[in-house]
């Protein structure tokens, strides 16, 4: 079989292996599928419902387009997107859907869906990537927006990318800011500088000198309940001393359209270079916050999608909208796989079905490194299917139990599960503190996975077709 084993190809196989793992595990539960919850649950489900009016309907005509647009309008307005923005977007979608001819090789339905995607990307604005190089970053924002936590998350982001970050606590106004940030940094093994004084300017000056050998220095500044003059003056003084490469404004997604006023005020005062929108996982107004910030021309750098330290994602509009519409996010999935799958993949062995319990154990460990199961599942292009939260919990628990069982197996059993007879099953169950049924279920699951791996051996044409389908 003639296959060029590129890095991308290896990680697509990792993705397929992971995907088949999940489907095989869910096979045990015998439940009905639902709609997948997205980063913005209701907005994502509503937009996917609007698209289905076109994707599963009859002829594409003015009535069909108008019905779809009504659903899109309803979804965006419920997410607190500005009415004028929604009307402008509707006009552009309607004009393009009815007037444009689909490109060669693209059907009318696919073309209309592509138009919706393009216009939503345009509405949300463009992101701004941060360089993975030596730099100083100044964090600004009002109280309650999650600035201190986001500072630690950003440091963790650079740490995961192989850089040496350090954090300076210049927030001397809020009681507990020093302790909160120090505890977070200590838990992540990230360098921290702070003083229990009320001299933020001096702290920044001394901190920069102390941490000059680090790759990325992140300064957490004080916040207020409103942008008062003394806060502006303090920020300007810190800016003059630090001369930061980036000034990132942290905004809470729950403020919706009001994000535009805050972003514009900060932007006019200290010329922020990027915005981080936090708490997108816990508000119905996230769409309003994202679209409002784009109006100020201050690009969005990151979005916060959860409480864990790794729940900070680069904001890339095309990926975000793709995920929102249920199209998956294969690029991010591959990036996570590159970090998680550190061992070389034996492609031929895998495609021939030579898949041992030892291989499966390594795979489960790598899956765990890729992040929470629910979060990774959102990146799969599974056409709007969803799995309920309790099933995610059950699946994660089952995978953890499988690892415990395998920890009680011998090297010979891990390499050749066929030798695991009844007496060995009893011994493994006793040693792992699990039931005999659990051990047998693991062996059944492994056989299913082995068969699925062998099914990947479909020739060059099929593999290219699969890669195209995955959007890589």
Q: Domain holding 434: CATH number?
A: 1.10.260.30
Q: Are residues 431 and 462 in the same domain?
A: yes
Structure tokens at 388: 């309920």
Q: Are residues 154 and 264 in the same domain?
A: yes
Residue 219 covered by a domain: yes
Q: Are residues 400 and 462 in the same domain?
A: yes
User: What is the pLDDT, as a whole number, of residue 456?
Assistant: 55
Q: Are residues 295 and 337 in the same domain?
A: no
Span 165-223, pLDDT tens digits: 999 999 998 888 899 999 999 999 999 999 998 899 999 999 999 999 999 999 999 88
CATH code for the domain in which residue 58 is found? 1.20.120.140
Identify the three-state secondary structure at position 321: helix
Q: Are residues 298 and 395 in the same domain?
A: no
User: What is the pLDDT, as a whole number, of residue 388?
Assistant: 65
CB-based burial of residue 57 (10 Å sphere; 0-12 exposed, 13-18 middle, 19+ buried)? Answer: middle
Residue 162 covered by a domain: yes
Residue ending a domain, among 92, 124, 156, is 124
Residue 20 covered by a domain: yes
Pair 81, 324: CB distance under 8 Å: no
CA neighbor of 325 nearest in space, from 90, 110, 56, 49: 49
CATH code for the domain in which residue 306 is found? 3.40.50.300
Q: What is 14-78 written as a DSSP string?
A: HHHHHHHHHHHHHTTT----EEPP-SSHHHHHHHHHHHHHHHTSSS--HHHHHHHHHHHHHHHHH
Residue 1 covered by a domain: no
- Residue 139 host element (H or E): strand 135-141
Residue 130 covered by a domain: no
Q: Are residues 180 and 312 in the same domain?
A: yes
User: 35 pairs with which residues across the strands?
Assistant: 385
Q: Are residues 27 and 54 in the same domain?
A: no
Beta-carbon contacts of residue 190 (< 8 Å; ≥ 6 apart): 152, 155, 156, 159, 165, 166, 167
Q: Are residues 314 and 386 in the same domain?
A: no
What is the separation of C-alpha 74 from the centre of its chain, rounded to a whole number of angstroms?
26
Q: Are residues 257 and 151 in the same domain?
A: yes
Residue 182 covered by a domain: yes
User: What is the pLDDT, as a whole number, of residue 394?
Assistant: 76
Span 306-354, pLDDT tens digits: 788 888 888 887 777 776 776 655 556 556 665 665 555 555 566 566 7
Residue ending a domain, among 101, 124, 147, is 124
Residue 181 covered by a domain: yes
User: 300 pairs with which residues across the strands?
Assistant: 127, 275
Residue 186 covered by a domain: yes
Domain of residue 13 covers 7-34+330-469
Residues in the chain with pLDDT values less than 50: 1-13, 15, 19-39, 382-385, 459-472
Q: Are residues 140 and 217 in the same domain?
A: yes
Q: Are residues 185 and 246 in the same domain?
A: yes
Q: Are residues 204 and 251 in the same domain?
A: yes
User: What is the pLDDT, as a whole number, of residue 164?
Assistant: 96
Number of domains the chain is built from: 3
The 165-169 sheet, strands edge to edge: 191-193, 165-169, 216-220, 135-141, 246-252, 274-278, 300-304, 312-314
Residue 460 CA: distances (Å) to CA of 30, 345, 457, 463? 34, 18, 9, 5
Residue ending a domain, among 300, 324, 348, is 324
């Amino acid at each position: 079989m003639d296959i060029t084993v590129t890095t991308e190809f290896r990680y697509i196989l990792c993705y397929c292996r992971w995907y088949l793992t999940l489907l095989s595990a869910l096979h045990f539960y015998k439940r009905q599928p639902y709609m997948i919850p997205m980063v913005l649950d209701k907005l994502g489900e509503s937009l996917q419902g609007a698209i289905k009016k076109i994707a599963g309907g009859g002829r594409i005509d003015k009535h069909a387009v108008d019905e779809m647009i009504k659903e899109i309008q309803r979804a965006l307005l419920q997410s607190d997107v500005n009415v004028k923005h929604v009307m402008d977007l509707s006009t552009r979608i309607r004009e393009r859907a009815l007037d444009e001819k689909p490109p060669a090789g693209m059907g009318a339905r696919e073309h209309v869906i592509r138009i919706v995607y393009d216009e939503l990307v345009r509405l949300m604005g463009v992101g701004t990537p941060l360089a993975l190089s030596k730099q100083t970053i100044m964090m600004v924002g009002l109280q309650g927006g999650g600035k201190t936590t986001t500072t630690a998350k950003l440091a963790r982001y650079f740490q995961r990318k192989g850089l040496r970050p350090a954090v300076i606590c210049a927030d001397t106004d809020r009681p507990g800011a020093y302790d909160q940030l120090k505890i977070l940094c200590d838990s992540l093994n990230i360098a921290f500088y702070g003083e229990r004084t009320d001299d933020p300017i001096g702290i920044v000056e001394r901190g920069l000198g102390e941490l000059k050998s680090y790759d990325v220095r992140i300064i957490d500044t004080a916040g207020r309940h409103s942008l008062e003059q003394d806060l502006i003056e303090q920020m300007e003084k810190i800016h003059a001393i630090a001369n930061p490469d980036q000034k990132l404004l942290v905004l809470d997604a729950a403020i919706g359209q009001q994000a535009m006023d805050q972003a514009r005020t900060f932007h006019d005062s200290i010329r922020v270079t990027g915005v981080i929108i936090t708490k997108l996982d816990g508000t119905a107004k996230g769409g309003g916050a994202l679209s409002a910030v784009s109006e100020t021309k201050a690009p969005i750098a990151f979005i916060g999608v959860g409480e864990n330290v790794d729940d900070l994602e680069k904001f890339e509009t095309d990926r975000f909208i793709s995920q929102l519409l249920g199209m998956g996010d294969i690029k991010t999935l591959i990036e996570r796989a590159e970090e998680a799958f550190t061992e070389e993949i034996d492609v031929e062995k895998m495609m021939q079905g030579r898949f041992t319990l030892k291989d499966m154990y390594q795979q489960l460990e790598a899956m765990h490194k890729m992040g929470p199961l629910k979060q990774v599942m959102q990146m799969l292009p599974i056409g709007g299917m969803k799995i309920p939260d309790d099933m995610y919990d059950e699946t994660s628990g089952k995978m953890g139990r499988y690892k415990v069982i395998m920890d009680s197996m011998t090297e010979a059993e891990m390499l050749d599960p066929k030798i695991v007879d009844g007496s060995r099953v009893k011994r493994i169950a006793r040693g792992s503190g699990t039931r005999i049924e659990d051990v047998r279920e693991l062996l059944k699951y492994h056989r299913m996975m082995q068969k699925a791996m062998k099914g990947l051996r479909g020739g060059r044409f099929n593999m290219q077709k699969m890669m195209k389908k995955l959007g890589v």
